[in-house]
Amino acid sequence: MLITRRSALLSAATVTSLGIAGRARAAETMKIGVVSPLTGPVAEAGRIQLNSLRLAVEKQNAAGGALGQQIELIVEDDQSTNPGAVLAFSRLAERKEIAGFIGSIRSTQMNAMAPDMLKVAKPVMFGGTDPTLTKLGNPWLFRCRPNDSYSGRVIVSFITGSMKLKKVALIHSTDAFGTGGKNAILANLEKQGLQPVLVQGYTNNQPDFSPVVLAVKSSGADVIVSYFTNEPDCAVFARQLRQLGVRTPWVGSPSIQSPVTRGLAKNALYGTYAVADFVEDSNPTAKAFADTYRAKHKESPDSGWTYDGLMILAKGINDSKSTEPEKIRQAILSIKKYAGTEGEYNFDQFGDGLHGYNIVINNNDKIDYKEHIEFTD
Protein backbone atom coordinates (compact mmCIF):
# COMPACT_ATOMS: atom_id res chain seq x y z
CA MET A 1 0.00 0.00 0.00
CA LEU A 2 1.35 3.32 -1.06
CA ILE A 3 1.38 5.81 1.72
CA THR A 4 1.17 9.30 0.36
CA ARG A 5 1.72 12.45 2.39
CA ARG A 6 -1.99 13.23 1.98
CA SER A 7 -3.24 9.87 3.30
CA ALA A 8 -0.79 10.06 6.20
CA LEU A 9 -2.12 13.49 7.13
CA LEU A 10 -5.71 12.23 6.85
CA SER A 11 -4.96 9.24 9.07
CA ALA A 12 -3.29 11.46 11.63
CA ALA A 13 -6.25 13.81 11.59
CA THR A 14 -8.68 10.91 12.03
CA VAL A 15 -6.72 9.46 14.94
CA THR A 16 -6.48 12.90 16.57
CA SER A 17 -10.21 13.59 16.20
CA LEU A 18 -11.06 10.14 17.54
CA GLY A 19 -8.78 10.81 20.47
CA ILE A 20 -10.48 14.12 21.19
CA ALA A 21 -13.91 12.49 20.93
CA GLY A 22 -12.78 9.71 23.25
CA ARG A 23 -11.53 12.21 25.80
CA ALA A 24 -14.77 14.20 25.48
CA ARG A 25 -16.76 11.06 26.23
CA ALA A 26 -14.61 10.24 29.23
CA ALA A 27 -15.06 13.81 30.55
CA GLU A 28 -18.84 13.74 30.11
CA THR A 29 -20.65 14.51 33.33
CA MET A 30 -24.06 13.71 34.77
CA LYS A 31 -25.74 17.13 34.81
CA ILE A 32 -28.19 18.12 37.51
CA GLY A 33 -30.09 21.41 37.11
CA VAL A 34 -30.48 23.63 40.18
CA VAL A 35 -32.90 26.54 40.67
CA SER A 36 -31.59 28.57 43.59
CA PRO A 37 -31.91 32.12 44.96
CA LEU A 38 -28.46 33.61 44.33
CA THR A 39 -29.78 37.18 44.56
CA GLY A 40 -32.75 38.87 46.27
CA PRO A 41 -34.16 38.74 49.80
CA VAL A 42 -33.65 35.00 50.39
CA ALA A 43 -30.23 34.78 48.75
CA GLU A 44 -28.74 33.95 52.15
CA ALA A 45 -30.74 30.70 52.28
CA GLY A 46 -29.69 30.04 48.67
CA ARG A 47 -26.03 30.29 49.61
CA ILE A 48 -26.41 27.64 52.35
CA GLN A 49 -28.45 25.37 50.03
CA LEU A 50 -25.75 25.57 47.35
CA ASN A 51 -22.98 24.88 49.87
CA SER A 52 -24.87 21.76 50.98
CA LEU A 53 -25.42 20.67 47.39
CA ARG A 54 -21.74 21.00 46.59
CA LEU A 55 -20.87 18.86 49.62
CA ALA A 56 -23.27 16.19 48.34
CA VAL A 57 -21.71 16.37 44.87
CA GLU A 58 -18.22 15.97 46.36
CA LYS A 59 -19.33 13.00 48.45
CA GLN A 60 -21.24 11.28 45.64
CA ASN A 61 -18.46 11.90 43.10
CA ALA A 62 -15.92 10.39 45.49
CA ALA A 63 -18.21 7.32 45.69
CA GLY A 64 -18.37 7.00 41.87
CA GLY A 65 -20.89 9.69 40.90
CA ALA A 66 -23.92 8.55 38.91
CA LEU A 67 -23.63 5.70 36.38
CA GLY A 68 -19.87 6.10 36.57
CA GLN A 69 -19.99 9.76 35.55
CA GLN A 70 -19.02 12.67 37.76
CA ILE A 71 -22.00 14.81 38.79
CA GLU A 72 -21.99 18.44 37.65
CA LEU A 73 -24.40 21.13 38.88
CA ILE A 74 -25.91 23.61 36.42
CA VAL A 75 -27.17 26.46 38.63
CA GLU A 76 -29.64 29.17 37.60
CA ASP A 77 -30.60 32.14 39.80
CA ASP A 78 -34.32 32.47 40.66
CA GLN A 79 -33.74 36.02 42.01
CA SER A 80 -35.95 35.09 45.01
CA THR A 81 -39.04 35.73 42.87
CA ASN A 82 -41.67 33.62 41.11
CA PRO A 83 -41.02 35.09 37.62
CA GLY A 84 -37.29 34.65 38.27
CA ALA A 85 -37.84 31.00 39.20
CA VAL A 86 -39.94 30.29 36.09
CA LEU A 87 -37.27 31.92 33.91
CA ALA A 88 -34.46 30.03 35.66
CA PHE A 89 -36.24 26.70 35.20
CA SER A 90 -37.03 27.40 31.54
CA ARG A 91 -33.30 28.03 30.93
CA LEU A 92 -32.49 24.66 32.53
CA ALA A 93 -35.34 22.91 30.69
CA GLU A 94 -33.73 23.77 27.36
CA ARG A 95 -30.72 21.63 28.25
CA LYS A 96 -31.72 18.12 27.23
CA GLU A 97 -28.65 16.54 28.86
CA ILE A 98 -29.88 17.37 32.39
CA ALA A 99 -31.02 14.18 34.16
CA GLY A 100 -32.96 15.73 37.02
CA PHE A 101 -33.42 18.91 39.01
CA ILE A 102 -33.12 20.41 42.47
CA GLY A 103 -36.09 22.78 42.81
CA SER A 104 -36.98 25.42 45.34
CA ILE A 105 -37.53 25.47 49.08
CA ARG A 106 -40.26 28.05 48.50
CA SER A 107 -43.70 26.60 47.83
CA THR A 108 -44.82 29.70 45.96
CA GLN A 109 -41.99 29.25 43.45
CA MET A 110 -42.63 25.52 43.14
CA ASN A 111 -46.26 26.31 42.33
CA ALA A 112 -45.09 28.76 39.67
CA MET A 113 -42.64 26.27 38.09
CA ALA A 114 -44.80 23.12 38.45
CA PRO A 115 -46.56 23.35 35.03
CA ASP A 116 -43.19 23.62 33.23
CA MET A 117 -41.82 20.78 35.38
CA LEU A 118 -44.73 18.60 34.24
CA LYS A 119 -43.92 19.38 30.59
CA VAL A 120 -40.21 18.66 31.00
CA ALA A 121 -41.08 15.31 32.70
CA LYS A 122 -37.90 14.70 34.69
CA PRO A 123 -37.56 14.17 38.45
CA VAL A 124 -37.42 17.35 40.58
CA MET A 125 -36.28 17.14 44.19
CA PHE A 126 -37.68 20.09 46.14
CA GLY A 127 -38.06 21.54 49.63
CA GLY A 128 -41.29 23.60 49.52
CA THR A 129 -43.62 22.36 52.24
CA ASP A 130 -47.07 23.32 50.89
CA PRO A 131 -48.89 19.93 51.14
CA THR A 132 -50.78 20.43 47.85
CA LEU A 133 -47.56 20.45 45.78
CA THR A 134 -47.37 16.63 45.73
CA LYS A 135 -51.12 16.38 45.08
CA LEU A 136 -51.15 18.43 41.88
CA GLY A 137 -51.15 15.33 39.72
CA ASN A 138 -47.56 16.10 38.77
CA PRO A 139 -45.69 12.78 39.15
CA TRP A 140 -42.22 14.36 38.83
CA LEU A 141 -42.11 16.21 42.15
CA PHE A 142 -40.26 14.58 45.07
CA ARG A 143 -40.25 16.36 48.41
CA CYS A 144 -37.17 16.16 50.62
CA ARG A 145 -38.68 17.89 53.62
CA PRO A 146 -41.77 16.91 55.64
CA ASN A 147 -44.78 18.84 54.31
CA ASP A 148 -46.82 21.34 56.31
CA SER A 149 -49.61 18.88 56.95
CA TYR A 150 -47.02 17.14 59.16
CA SER A 151 -45.67 20.37 60.66
CA GLY A 152 -49.27 21.40 61.38
CA ARG A 153 -50.04 18.01 62.93
CA VAL A 154 -46.82 18.05 64.94
CA ILE A 155 -47.38 21.61 66.21
CA VAL A 156 -50.99 20.91 67.20
CA SER A 157 -49.99 17.58 68.75
CA PHE A 158 -47.20 19.33 70.71
CA ILE A 159 -49.22 22.31 71.99
CA THR A 160 -52.26 20.29 72.98
CA GLY A 161 -50.28 17.27 74.23
CA SER A 162 -46.96 18.29 75.79
CA MET A 163 -47.82 21.97 76.48
CA LYS A 164 -51.52 21.40 77.27
CA LEU A 165 -52.53 24.75 75.68
CA LYS A 166 -55.64 25.39 73.63
CA LYS A 167 -56.11 29.10 72.83
CA VAL A 168 -54.10 29.57 69.63
CA ALA A 169 -53.14 32.83 67.88
CA LEU A 170 -52.09 31.86 64.37
CA ILE A 171 -49.78 34.29 62.49
CA HIS A 172 -48.92 33.45 58.89
CA SER A 173 -47.49 34.91 55.71
CA THR A 174 -50.11 35.24 52.99
CA ASP A 175 -47.86 33.53 50.42
CA ALA A 176 -48.28 29.85 49.45
CA PHE A 177 -46.03 28.62 52.28
CA GLY A 178 -47.78 30.62 54.99
CA THR A 179 -51.26 29.88 53.68
CA GLY A 180 -50.46 26.15 53.40
CA GLY A 181 -49.25 26.17 56.99
CA LYS A 182 -52.30 28.07 58.19
CA ASN A 183 -54.66 25.59 56.51
CA ALA A 184 -52.81 22.64 58.05
CA ILE A 185 -53.02 24.14 61.56
CA LEU A 186 -56.72 24.97 61.16
CA ALA A 187 -57.51 21.45 59.93
CA ASN A 188 -55.62 19.79 62.80
CA LEU A 189 -57.12 22.09 65.44
CA GLU A 190 -60.55 21.27 64.08
CA LYS A 191 -59.84 17.54 64.42
CA GLN A 192 -59.32 18.23 68.12
CA GLY A 193 -62.51 20.31 68.28
CA LEU A 194 -60.58 23.59 68.70
CA GLN A 195 -60.92 26.99 67.02
CA PRO A 196 -58.05 29.54 67.06
CA VAL A 197 -58.72 32.78 68.93
CA LEU A 198 -56.89 34.75 66.21
CA VAL A 199 -55.88 34.05 62.60
CA GLN A 200 -53.72 36.87 61.25
CA GLY A 201 -52.08 36.95 57.82
CA TYR A 202 -49.42 39.47 56.74
CA THR A 203 -47.62 40.21 53.45
CA ASN A 204 -43.86 39.52 53.29
CA ASN A 205 -41.18 42.22 53.89
CA GLN A 206 -42.99 44.30 56.52
CA PRO A 207 -41.12 47.08 58.34
CA ASP A 208 -43.57 47.12 61.25
CA PHE A 209 -45.58 44.36 62.94
CA SER A 210 -47.13 46.36 65.76
CA PRO A 211 -50.74 45.90 64.50
CA VAL A 212 -50.19 42.11 64.50
CA VAL A 213 -48.58 42.16 67.95
CA LEU A 214 -51.44 44.21 69.39
CA ALA A 215 -53.95 41.81 67.85
CA VAL A 216 -52.16 38.90 69.57
CA LYS A 217 -52.10 40.84 72.84
CA SER A 218 -55.82 41.53 72.83
CA SER A 219 -56.80 38.04 71.60
CA GLY A 220 -56.25 36.36 74.98
CA ALA A 221 -54.23 33.59 73.30
CA ASP A 222 -52.15 31.28 75.49
CA VAL A 223 -49.90 30.15 72.63
CA ILE A 224 -48.69 31.74 69.37
CA VAL A 225 -48.27 29.52 66.30
CA SER A 226 -46.47 31.12 63.36
CA TYR A 227 -45.59 30.47 59.72
CA PHE A 228 -43.05 33.14 58.70
CA THR A 229 -41.47 32.89 55.25
CA ASN A 230 -38.73 35.54 55.40
CA GLU A 231 -36.28 35.59 58.29
CA PRO A 232 -36.13 39.40 58.75
CA ASP A 233 -39.95 39.47 59.08
CA CYS A 234 -39.78 36.85 61.81
CA ALA A 235 -37.04 38.81 63.62
CA VAL A 236 -38.91 42.15 63.43
CA PHE A 237 -42.06 40.45 64.79
CA ALA A 238 -40.12 38.73 67.58
CA ARG A 239 -38.51 41.96 68.75
CA GLN A 240 -41.76 43.95 68.65
CA LEU A 241 -43.54 41.12 70.47
CA ARG A 242 -41.07 41.38 73.35
CA GLN A 243 -40.97 45.20 73.24
CA LEU A 244 -44.75 45.39 73.54
CA GLY A 245 -44.63 43.07 76.52
CA VAL A 246 -46.13 39.90 75.04
CA ARG A 247 -44.65 36.84 76.76
CA THR A 248 -47.02 34.23 75.34
CA PRO A 249 -45.32 30.88 74.53
CA TRP A 250 -44.53 30.61 70.82
CA VAL A 251 -44.23 27.57 68.56
CA GLY A 252 -43.16 28.39 65.02
CA SER A 253 -42.37 26.90 61.64
CA PRO A 254 -38.68 26.14 60.91
CA SER A 255 -37.67 29.73 59.97
CA ILE A 256 -37.99 30.83 63.63
CA GLN A 257 -34.91 28.77 64.60
CA SER A 258 -32.71 29.33 61.52
CA PRO A 259 -29.27 30.83 62.29
CA VAL A 260 -30.17 33.93 60.23
CA THR A 261 -33.34 34.65 62.23
CA ARG A 262 -31.58 33.99 65.54
CA GLY A 263 -28.72 36.28 64.52
CA LEU A 264 -31.16 39.09 63.80
CA ALA A 265 -33.65 38.64 66.66
CA LYS A 266 -31.14 37.55 69.34
CA ASN A 267 -32.72 37.23 72.81
CA ALA A 268 -36.22 37.99 71.47
CA LEU A 269 -36.39 34.34 70.38
CA TYR A 270 -35.06 32.75 73.56
CA GLY A 271 -37.45 30.14 74.94
CA THR A 272 -39.40 29.73 71.70
CA TYR A 273 -40.19 26.33 70.22
CA ALA A 274 -40.03 25.37 66.58
CA VAL A 275 -40.73 22.44 64.38
CA ALA A 276 -37.51 21.62 62.60
CA ASP A 277 -36.94 19.24 59.75
CA PHE A 278 -33.18 19.46 60.09
CA VAL A 279 -31.65 19.09 63.57
CA GLU A 280 -28.08 17.93 63.65
CA ASP A 281 -28.49 16.03 66.93
CA SER A 282 -31.54 14.13 65.67
CA ASN A 283 -29.69 11.45 63.65
CA PRO A 284 -26.10 10.31 62.77
CA THR A 285 -26.31 11.32 59.06
CA ALA A 286 -27.29 14.86 60.04
CA LYS A 287 -24.46 15.00 62.59
CA ALA A 288 -21.84 13.83 60.06
CA PHE A 289 -23.14 16.26 57.43
CA ALA A 290 -23.12 19.18 59.89
CA ASP A 291 -19.54 18.37 60.99
CA THR A 292 -18.31 18.27 57.37
CA TYR A 293 -20.18 21.48 56.57
CA ARG A 294 -18.75 23.27 59.61
CA ALA A 295 -15.21 22.13 58.81
CA LYS A 296 -15.51 23.57 55.32
CA HIS A 297 -17.61 26.72 55.82
CA LYS A 298 -16.94 27.68 59.48
CA GLU A 299 -20.68 27.88 60.21
CA SER A 300 -23.47 25.42 60.96
CA PRO A 301 -25.95 24.43 58.25
CA ASP A 302 -29.63 25.12 58.91
CA SER A 303 -30.91 22.63 56.39
CA GLY A 304 -29.90 19.43 54.65
CA TRP A 305 -32.68 18.94 52.10
CA THR A 306 -30.61 19.89 49.03
CA TYR A 307 -27.89 17.49 50.24
CA ASP A 308 -30.47 14.72 50.60
CA GLY A 309 -32.15 15.68 47.32
CA LEU A 310 -28.96 15.25 45.35
CA MET A 311 -27.98 12.01 47.09
CA ILE A 312 -31.48 10.54 46.49
CA LEU A 313 -31.51 11.67 42.85
CA ALA A 314 -28.08 10.06 42.35
CA LYS A 315 -29.36 6.90 44.09
CA GLY A 316 -32.40 6.90 41.80
CA ILE A 317 -30.18 7.16 38.72
CA ASN A 318 -27.81 4.46 39.99
CA ASP A 319 -30.61 2.11 41.16
CA SER A 320 -32.44 2.42 37.84
CA LYS A 321 -29.12 2.07 35.94
CA SER A 322 -30.57 4.57 33.51
CA THR A 323 -31.06 8.24 32.74
CA GLU A 324 -34.55 7.53 31.45
CA PRO A 325 -36.79 9.81 33.57
CA GLU A 326 -39.58 7.28 34.16
CA LYS A 327 -37.12 4.64 35.39
CA ILE A 328 -35.47 7.14 37.75
CA ARG A 329 -38.91 8.16 39.00
CA GLN A 330 -39.86 4.56 39.78
CA ALA A 331 -36.49 4.00 41.50
CA ILE A 332 -37.00 7.06 43.74
CA LEU A 333 -40.57 5.99 44.60
CA SER A 334 -39.26 2.61 45.74
CA ILE A 335 -36.70 4.14 48.15
CA LYS A 336 -37.51 3.05 51.73
CA LYS A 337 -35.65 3.47 55.01
CA TYR A 338 -33.00 5.72 53.43
CA ALA A 339 -31.08 7.54 56.17
CA GLY A 340 -30.90 11.19 55.12
CA THR A 341 -29.87 14.29 57.03
CA GLU A 342 -33.54 15.28 57.39
CA GLY A 343 -34.60 11.89 58.72
CA GLU A 344 -35.57 8.49 57.34
CA TYR A 345 -36.94 8.67 53.80
CA ASN A 346 -39.85 6.40 52.89
CA PHE A 347 -41.31 7.74 49.65
CA ASP A 348 -45.07 7.43 49.35
CA GLN A 349 -47.09 7.28 46.11
CA PHE A 350 -47.34 11.11 46.02
CA GLY A 351 -43.59 11.75 46.21
CA ASP A 352 -43.37 12.75 49.88
CA GLY A 353 -40.21 11.28 51.41
CA LEU A 354 -40.58 12.33 55.05
CA HIS A 355 -43.52 11.96 57.42
CA GLY A 356 -42.62 13.60 60.72
CA TYR A 357 -40.92 16.54 62.39
CA ASN A 358 -38.62 17.35 65.28
CA ILE A 359 -39.52 19.83 68.00
CA VAL A 360 -36.65 22.04 69.19
CA ILE A 361 -36.30 24.79 71.76
CA ASN A 362 -34.10 27.90 71.61
CA ASN A 363 -32.15 27.81 74.90
CA ASN A 364 -30.21 31.10 74.93
CA ASP A 365 -29.38 30.77 71.23
CA LYS A 366 -28.57 27.08 71.50
CA ILE A 367 -31.01 24.90 69.60
CA ASP A 368 -31.80 21.84 71.68
CA TYR A 369 -33.57 18.80 70.31
CA LYS A 370 -36.72 18.12 72.30
CA GLU A 371 -38.70 15.37 70.63
CA HIS A 372 -39.52 13.76 67.27
CA ILE A 373 -43.11 13.16 66.27
CA GLU A 374 -43.55 10.74 63.35
CA PHE A 375 -46.74 9.71 61.59
CA THR A 376 -47.20 6.52 59.63
CA ASP A 377 -50.62 7.19 58.12
Partner 1 sequence: MSDFLQLVFQGLGIGAIYALVSLGFVLLIRAASVVNFGQGEFSMLGAYLLVVFFNILGINYFFGIGLSVIIMAGFGLIFAYATYWPLRFRGGLPVIISTIGASIFLQNMVLWIYGPSTVPIDGLFDSDGFQIGEVFISSQYLAIIVIAAALVLLQYVIFEKTLLGKKLQATSQDKEMASLLGIPVVIMIMITFAYSAALGGLAGILVAPILFVSVGMAGIITLKAFAANIIGGYGSIPGAILGGLALGIAETLGANYISVPYKDAFAFLMLLAFLMVRPQGLFGEKISEKA
Q: Count CA atoms within 13 Å of residue 204 on its CB side.
A: 18
The binder of partner 1 chosen from 32, 34, 46, 343 (CB under 8 A): 46
The binder of partner 1 chosen from 6, 207, 364, 376 (CB under 8 A): 207
Torsion of CA 86, 91, 95, 96, to 10 degrees: 30
Site for partner 1 in 14-43 (CB under 8 A): 38-41, 43
Does residue 351 come out as left (phi exceeding 0), alpha (psi in the -120 to 50 range) or beta?
left
Give the residues across from 360 on adjacent strands: 274, 369
Tell whether residue 195 is a contact of partner 1 (CB under 8 A). Answer: no
Tell whether residue 264 is a contact of partner 1 (CB under 8 A). Answer: yes
> Which strand (E) or helix (H) includes residue 226?
strand 223-227
Of 19-27, 100-108, 235-243, 332-340, the window that binds partner 1 (rule: CB under 8 A) is 235-243
Q: DSSP assignment, residue 256?
A: G
Tell whether residue 211 is a contact of partner 1 (CB under 8 A). Answer: yes
Q: DSSP assignment, residue 162?
A: I
The binder of partner 1 chosen from 95, 119, 266, 296 (CB under 8 A): 266
The closest of 197, 191, 166, 144 to 315, measured between CA atoms, is 144
- Tally of residues, the chain: 377
Task: Quickly count: other Cβ atoms within 10 Å of residue 3's Cβ.
Answer: 8
> Which strand (E) or helix (H) includes residue 195?
none
Tell whether residue 260 is a contact of partner 1 (CB under 8 A). Answer: yes
Task: Quickly count: other Cβ atoms within 10 Å of residue 235's Cβ.
Answer: 22
Size of interface with partner 1, in residues (CB under 8 A) = 37
Of 65-73, 92-100, 202-210, 249-257, the window that binds partner 1 (rule: CB under 8 A) is 202-210
Of 29 and 51, which CB lies nearer to partner 1 in the complex structure? 51
CB of 266 to partner 1, least distance (A): 7
Q: DSSP assignment, residue 166?
A: -
Of 114 and 169, which CB lies nearer to partner 1 in the complex structure? 169
CB of 140 to partner 1, least distance (A): 29
Residues of the shown chain interacting with partner 1 in the complex, contacts defined by CB under 8 A = 38-41, 43-44, 46-47, 174, 200-203, 205-208, 210-212, 214-215, 217-218, 231-232, 235-236, 239, 242-245, 260, 263-264, 266
